[in-house]
Structure formats: structure tokens, C-alpha cells
Amino acid sequence: MNAPSPPTADPPKTAPPRPSSGQRALTVALYTVLTAVWLGDVVSTGGLRTAERGWLLPLVSGPLAAVLLQLPYRYLSLRRRAWAAACGSTVLTGVMALRDLESGGNWGVLESVCLLILLARACRRISRPYVAVALGIAVLLGPLRLNIPDMLPVSFSLTFAIGAAVALGCYLRVQDGYQARAVDRVRQAERMELARELHDFVAHHVTGIVVQANAGLAVRATAPEHIEPILENIQKSGMETLDSMRRLVRVLREVDGTPQRPGELFTELAGLVSGFCGGEDGMDATLTVAATARSARLAPEVELSVHRVVQESLTNARRHAPGALVAVRVDTADGRLRVEISNTPPPAPPAPSPVGGRGGFGMVGLRERVSAVEGLLEAGSTPEGGWRVVGVFPALEMAGSAA
């Protein structure tokens, strides 16, 4: 008799995604531009030592605005930092105007640049960006710190910068909407695919229940001592069927799908890898399956999810890294099945987007599928310049769990 299955280990915690090289380059470029603008403010006021005490205020407010701009969102929300920057800049303008300073110096271009960036972010990310009006007013009032008679040309030129920031924020807001809707469509398509596969899984489980029930009827008169184990197996199969339905049922089945044969996962993976090798692009792949993974018992929907992860990863490798060597490894760790698909850098110059894409819709669909079966999926570049996809899946029973 099988011993009770050990409790499933908690999913390993994943580290937050590392910024891509493009994101790091943009961050460095932003820091460089802000530093150059602040140095321009320093030069225009004659330097920190020679500047009048009043003109030191914009030289300090600029770096403070830059810190407020780059502060992590976990410390201060975008709405609050935007209001703080707008109100602080307006108050500083009023104080400097009331001091009636002599003309000259600089009103703080770095501060205005930071306010414009906050204005664009507010128009992009805040649902009702009323703070955009306060930010625009703060930018327009900045030149009043110079205390010169004719400020109309300076303020008029700033209206173009404000309009450009608002336009950029609104454009990015529209693009984010398109992206969100596209991701929703991919997720819905993956859920539909899961629903189409539900019938095959339930049929597999129910067939086993019917067979065991018939066996119980057959041995009831001749061997009644075997009835209890059969009833226990029927109960276990019924619980597994309900668990599969709970995880997979999202929408009704609408069209027929290609059935997946439960229990033949590694045969299917071997066929995938074998069919992947060769061809005009010279692709080659290896499959390594640990003994503990072969002896693991998986739910049918988990087997199909593993199959789809390997299939999608091999397809992406052929598309984005032609000529690379691909390795598929299946092992177990902490009571869970671990699947890793990695590829070496391609012989030719790498494609613009890596295998799996950076946030591509293919990975969105895979994460949706893996999450539906209570698994985890990670993807990222390797130190050698290749790409790696790692999936961790729950197992019903691992090797050594039987008594």
C-alpha cells in the first residue's frame, strides 16, 4: 500500500527581475543629462562660491528634485511626489520673488527638467492626473525667480516644453493600454487552450475510476478483502480529478483540441527534441532526464504544461538563436519537478531580441499556463550570452515516497 504523499514544498521565492541592458543604459543616460544640466546651473550663477546666497537655493532645489524623481516608488507614490515637487517649487518661486533679488543668475533649469519628467510620468501613469496642472504652473512660474521685467518670451518657450511632456506622457499611456490589452488577449487565449484540454484530463481520470469500480464489483464475492484498497484508490483518483478541474476550468470548451496522452511526458519530450535537431539552420539539442524525475508522478495538466514550456522554448531558440546548441534538462528539487531549457549564443550576431523575448507575449502565455497549475516560470540571459528558461512544477508523488 502506498504511503501518504509528503506535503508539497513551498514554491521557491524568486528574486525581482533584473533590469535589462537597455534599461540600465537609459538610467545612466538620465543621470548624465541631469548632472550636466546641474553643472550648467552652477556655471550660469558664477560657481558655488561666488554665487549670491539667494541664488544658491535653485542650485540646491535642483538636486532635491532629482532625488525626488528617482526615489523608489515603495517609499513614495508617484502622485505624492508629484504634488510635493509642484508645491515645493511654487513656494520657492514665491519666496525668491518676494526677496526682490537682483536680475541675473539662473532660476534652476535642473529643477524644471525634473518637473517636466514628473509631468510626463503623471500623464502616463496616474488615473486622474490633476497634479499635471500644478506641475505645469510650477514650470511656468520658475523664470519669475530671475526678477526681470519681460518674462513673456521665457515663459512662452516653456509652454512648448510642457506641451511636449504632456504629449509624451499621453502617447506612452496609449501604448501601455495597447500593451495591456494585448497581454489580456494572450492570457485569454491560453485559458481557452487550457479549457479545451480539460475534457481529455477528466476523461483520463474518470476512465480509471470506472475500471477500478468494475474491478471492485468483480472481486466483491470472491475476495472481499481487496475491496478496501480499491475504494481508497477510487477516492484518491476522484480527488485528483476534482483538483485538476479546480485548476484548469476557466471557460467552456468551444472547439476540439489535440489530446495529450497522460503518462507519456518523457516520450513526448524525446520526440520534441528529436524533431528539433537537424534542418538547414544546423540546430542541435540534447535531452537529459534524471532518474528521480522519471519516477515522479505528475498530474496530467502539469505534464501538458511541461510539454508546452519545452515546445515554446525550442521554437524561440530556432527563431532567435539559429545554430545554437540547446540543452533540455529535467530534474527534481525540493519535491518539485524542475525543467530547464538553455541555449548557447548563436554563431552569427545575436538577434535583436533574445530567446523567449524580454516580456514577449509568448512568455506571458507560458507564465499564465504554468501559474494555472501552481508552478513558477523564470526566463533570462546567461553570463555566456545565451538564454535560459526554468520552470518548476508541483508533483503528486516523488521517488521514495512509497512505503
Burial of 178 (0-12, 13-18, 19+ CB in 10 A): exposed
Tell me the C-alpha distance between 324 and 133, whole Å.
53
pLDDT band at 36 (very low <50, low <70, confident <90, very high): confident
pTM value surpassing 0.85: no
Per-residue confidence (pLDDT) for residue 87, from 0 to 100 = 92
Higher per-residue pLDDT: 21 or 379: 379
Per-residue confidence (pLDDT) for residue 47, from 0 to 100 = 56
Q: Select from 176, 182, 178, 68 the least CA-distant residue to 125.
A: 176
Per-residue confidence (pLDDT) for residue 369, from 0 to 100 = 78
pLDDT tens digit string along 265-311?
888 888 888 888 765 566 788 999 998 888 888 887 788 888 889 98
Residue 21 in this model has a pLDDT that exceeds 70:
no
Higher per-residue pLDDT: 174 or 277: 174
Q: pLDDT over 90 for what percent of the chain?
A: 14
pLDDT tens digit string along 367-382?
877 887 888 999 888 8
Residue 169 in this model has a pLDDT that exceeds 70:
yes
Rounded to an integer, the average pLDDT of 337-346 is 91
Q: At which residue does the C-alpha cell 538547414 appear?
A: 280
Q: Select from 145, 69, 56 the least CA-distant residue to 103.
A: 145
pLDDT band at 18 (very low <50, low <70, confident <90, very high): low
Q: pLDDT over 70 for what percent of the chain?
A: 72
pLDDT tens digit string along 185-215?
776 776 666 666 665 666 666 777 777 777 7
Tell me the C-alpha distance between 242 and 64, whole Å.
58
Q: Where is average pLDDT lowest: 7-16, 82-91, 342-351?
A: 7-16
Higher per-residue pLDDT: 181 or 15: 181
